[in-house]
Amino acid sequence: MITNLNTGISETGDPLLLTPGPLTTSLSVKEAMLHDWGSRDTGFLRINEEVLDRLPEIVNGVGSFVTVPMQGSGTFAVEAMLTTFVPASGKCLLLINGAYGHRAKKILEIAKRAVVVYETAEDTPPDVAEVEAILAGDGDITHVFAVHCETTSGILNPIAEIGRVVARQGRHLLIDSMSAFGALPLDVAETSCDAIAASSNKCIEGVPGLGFVLCREDALAKTQGNATTLVLDLYDQWRAFVQNGQYRFTPPIHVIVSFHQALKEFFEEGGQPGRGARYWANADVLIEGMRGLGFKTLLPGELQAPIIVTFHMPDESWFQFQTFYDRLKDLGYVIYPGKLTVAETFRIGCIGRLDQGHMRDALAVIAAVTADMRASALARAE
Ligand SMILES: *Cc1c(COP(=O)(O)O)cnc(C)c1O
């Protein structure tokens, strides 16, 4: 029934991932993994050093920030950041408007750190005046944790404004910038913070397996002994690099070498402004096209980040999410279920090795699949 459409099947025979990461990577990023290296191989260590050296450029942190990599997914980096920077005597204000904020709270509770929560709905950013009032009223709060783009909904939180009030109140900001890093602007000269956590498999478009935390060097230097685990101790991991340029424990070598290739392609695209512009174009095409098909976005335009877009499930008898999902996947496009509490939704990502052409092709497939689903529902009703 559905013919003459460009399927999303890639050059390696895989469907395109319209998801928030892991995501579709370039062929050259995948090909970079076709070698073996020893973890002490000088060639590998040089590649690793280049990766660590270049990441602070993305947030204007050269000279003041160091990269501490952490084996594992992004959450390993977030847990390492929180447990290394917030000392046993500290207290952390968590700004929560989605699942990743809740995850940070769980991490700190397991680590037995004192927390205060300021939570807003999943479609509502924190009120910066309220953040300032909470800080002004509680002198015990040492740190503030914020999520840059809350991937749960795709909302863009006002990170620069949050940074300003945290600095004005003399506290320390820790940022989960996982799904925004490299795509959305973040300048540490303007947004004062102690650490930024991100990972290999989001907007830099590498494969999963490496988290990293960009740390203000003078703040990191004061964290010795804070960590609650051996593995996730950023201070210890950093000292090992300073001493011998090596990881304490086996690094995900293939991931790092392909991340090096992904970073090269990122800078060739114009760094954050270039990458961000492509994702904004993808998001604009997607949102306009989906609205044209009758779908409604959760967020108004001014709160929408160009990373992932949340759509309401149509509340109509022809629409069945699992069927929709399966049929899109068969035609080469993998979308993402919703994870909201405020509404029944699904999500479509704009990141990865995708451009406006891919988004238009995906929309043509979505149009065909929804038309077909409506027609079948009608035929069943007759
Ligand atoms: C992806 C993501 C993480 C990390 O998730 P992992 O599954 O551990 O990689 C953390 N925070 C945000 C905002 C994310 O989008």
pTM of the model: 0.97
Q: What are phi and psi of 176, to 5 degrees?
A: -90, 100
pLDDT digits (tens, 9 = 90+) for 87-100: 999 999 999 999 99
Name which of 152, 92, 161 is nearest 126 in CA terms. Answer: 161
H-assigned helices in 171-252: 217-220, 234-244
SS (H, E, C) 354-378: CCHHHHHHHHHHHHHHHHHHHHHHH
For residues 137 and 170, the answer to whether their CB atoms sit within 8 Å is no
For residues 148 and 175, the answer to whether their CB atoms sit within 8 Å is yes
By residue range, what is the domain housing residue 75? 27-268
Residue 380 CB contacts under 8 Å (≥ 6 apart), including other chains: none
Based on the fold, state whether residues 233 and 312 are members of the same structural domain: no
Tell me whether residue 359 is in a domain.
Answer: yes
> Does 22 sit behind a cis peptide bond, omega within 30 degrees of 0 on the bond before it?
yes
Give Cα separations from 362 to 6, 99, 282 (angstroms). 8, 27, 11
Tell me whether residue 17 is in a domain.
Answer: no
Q: What are phi and psi of 106, to 5 degrees?
A: -60, -40
Instruction: Using the atom order of ligand 1, give the atom closest to the CA of residue 151.
Output: 15
Ligand 1 midpoint to CA 100 (Å): 7
**Region 53-76 average pLDDT:** 98
Tell me whether residue 115 is in a domain.
Answer: yes
Whole-number mean pLDDT of the chain?
96
Amino acid at 110: I
Q: What pLDDT shows up at residue 341?
A: 78
Q: Is 21 in the pocket of ligand 1 (CB under 6 A)?
A: yes
Tell me whether residue 280 is in a domain.
Answer: yes
Instruction: Using the atom order of ligand 1, give the atom closest to the CA of residue 307.
Output: 15
pLDDT digits (tens, 9 = 90+) for 154-192: 999 999 999 999 999 999 999 999 999 999 999 999 999
Based on the fold, state whether residues 60 and 127 are members of the same structural domain: yes
Q: What pLDDT shows up at residue 108?
A: 98
| Number of domains within the chain | 2
Ligand 1 midpoint to CA 198 (Å): 8
Tell me whether residue 349 is in a domain.
Answer: yes
Q: What are phi and psi of 67, to 5 degrees?
A: -95, 125
**Region 194-208 average pLDDT:** 98
Based on the fold, state whether residues 332 and 256 are members of the same structural domain: no
Position 1 confidence tier, pLDDT thresholds 50, 70, 90:
low
For residues 16 and 8, the answer to whether their CB atoms sit within 8 Å is yes
Task: Give the DSSP H or E segment for 285.
Answer: helix 271-292
For residues 8 and 333, the answer to whether their CB atoms sit within 8 Å is yes
Tell me whether residue 129 is in a domain.
Answer: yes
Q: Is 324 helix (H, G, I), strand (E, B) or coil?
A: helix
CA angle centred on 128, ends 127 and 133, rounded to 5°: 100
Based on the fold, state whether residues 88 and 231 are members of the same structural domain: yes
Based on the fold, state whether residues 253 and 283 are members of the same structural domain: no
pLDDT digits (tens, 9 = 90+) for 27-43: 999 999 999 999 899 99
- Indicate which CATH number applies to the domain containing 247: 3.40.640.10
Q: Is 183 in the pocket of ligand 1 (CB under 6 A)?
A: no
Ligand 1 midpoint to CA 74 (Å): 5
Based on the fold, state whether residues 264 and 327 are members of the same structural domain: no
Q: What pLDDT shows up at residue 2?
A: 62
- Indicate which CATH number applies to the domain containing 375: 3.90.1150.10
Quote the distance between the C-alpha of residue 78 and its chain's center: 11
Ligand 1 midpoint to CA 174 (Å): 15
